[in-house]
Every structure is written in structure tokens, then in C-alpha cells.
Amino acid sequence: MDERFIDRVLQASGVIGALAGLCGWALGGPEWALAFLLAAAWSIVNLWVLAYFLVVILKKARRRTLIAFFLLKTVILYGLIVLYLFFVQWTFSALMSGLTMPYIVMVLKAVGRVLTDAMDRGKGPVGSVRNDNKRPS
């Protein structure tokens, strides 16, 4: 994993979220798709703010910057989710799938990275050494 991992997760989450919203429109109707897309967008922005907040903390930034991020994270983002819950016609499945979508993408990308690294080292997914050049006897 490198420092661009979260950026790639956010980009993949945006694409997958748009595709899942389109599928949700066809299968669950426009209300479900709107609720999913709003929840997914909120979750993507929340993950981006959290990742940037950690970078700012690790760089030992000024107190004003930390306060600004704290206010953005708590007041604005959580205020938006409360407005979402009150004013958007949402279903539990749309809300939960939208909120967890970037984290599911993160786990799947991490598992994919581990598996491809293991394959590149000549090991299978369970760690056995493969020898594709030998013929079975």
C-alpha cells in the first residue's frame, strides 16, 4: 500500500457508486437511486476529509487548520447526514449500501493487491509455490 491508495479508492468508489446508482435506478426506482447516490457521495467526501485530516495531523499542522477540519467533519458533514435523514425519502438498504460502499471498495482493493502481490512472487493465493513449466507425469 502506498500514499495514493486512498485516492485510488475514492476514484474507484465514485465510478462504482455511479454504476450502482444507475443499476439501482433500474431495479429499485429513482427514489432508491437518489438515496443511494446521496449516501455514497457523503461517504466518499467523509473518507476524503478523514484521510486529509490524518495527513494534516501527521504533518503537525497549526491549530487553526485542525479546528477547520474538525468543524468541517463534525458540523457540516454530520449536519448534512441529519438533513439527508429528514428530507430524503430513503430506505435502509439504500442508506447502508451507500454509506458502506467506499469501505467495501477499500477492502476489495486491499485483498486484490495482496493476491496479485502473492501471484507475482510465484505463490498461489494460499501460499503454495507454483511451477507451470513442469508437465504432469
According to DSSP, residue 3 is labeled T
Other beta carbons less than 10 A from residue 13's beta carbon: 24
Cell of 86: 429528514
Q: In the structure, what pLDDT confidence band is assigned to residue 133 with cuts at 50, 70 and 90?
A: low
- AA identity, residue 57: I
pLDDT digits (tens, 9 = 90+) for 72-131: 778 888 888 888 888 877 788 998 999 999 999 999 998 988 888 888 776 655 555 555
Contacts of 105 by beta carbon, 8 Å cutoff, 6+ apart: 9, 12, 13, 16
Contact 46, 77 (CB under 8 A): yes
pLDDT digits (tens, 9 = 90+) for 16-67: 999 999 999 999 899 999 999 999 999 999 898 888 888 777 777 677 777 7
Burial of 84 (0-12, 13-18, 19+ CB in 10 A): middle
Cell of 4: 495514493
